[in-house]
Amino acid sequence: MNKVSTKTVQRSKHVPQRTCVGCRTVMAKRQLVRVVRTAGGVLVDRTGKLAGRGAYLHDRRSCWESGLKGSLANALKVVLTPADRLHLETFMNTLSEADPGE
């Protein structure tokens, strides 16, 4: 008789990947900052769990500057209001200039 192997195979945990709309680099979802479009406007979603259409950016000022030129609004399918832009620029100014990996 042939016995079927009962050895279990350990699978690696699936890590969701997202693309930074500023530099178009694909990374793990948890390493990026989520921006979400809600009924109240565009918000920075620090928890990653707010309801609404979301887009992702690195925590680098260069990616935010690039994203605010148009790719972020395009990804969220919204026209950024001056209040939304001010809120996002305020958050962007708290970020470092350099790449954290450098």
Q: What confidence tier does 22 reach under pLDDT thresholds 50, 70, 90?
A: very high
Question: For 78-101, what is each residue's pLDDT tens digit?
Answer: 999 999 999 999 999 998 776 555
- Does any domain span residue 83? yes
Q: What pLDDT does residue 2 have?
A: 66
Query: For the whole model, what pTM was predicted?
Result: 0.81
Are 42 and 36 contacting, i.e. CB atoms less than 8 angstroms apart? yes
- CATH number of the domain at 73, please: 3.30.1230.10
Residue 49 pLDDT more than 50? yes
**Within a domain: 55:** yes
> In which domain, by residue range, is 74 found?
17-92
Instruction: Identify whether 11 is part of a domain.
Output: no
Q: Is the dihedral of CA 53, 82, 44, 72 positive or negative?
A: positive
- Is residue 99 domain-resident? no
Task: Tell me whether residue 69 is in a domain.
Answer: yes
What lies within 8 Å, CB to CB, of 92 at 6+ separation is 61, 64, 65, 68
> How many domains would you assign to the chain?
1
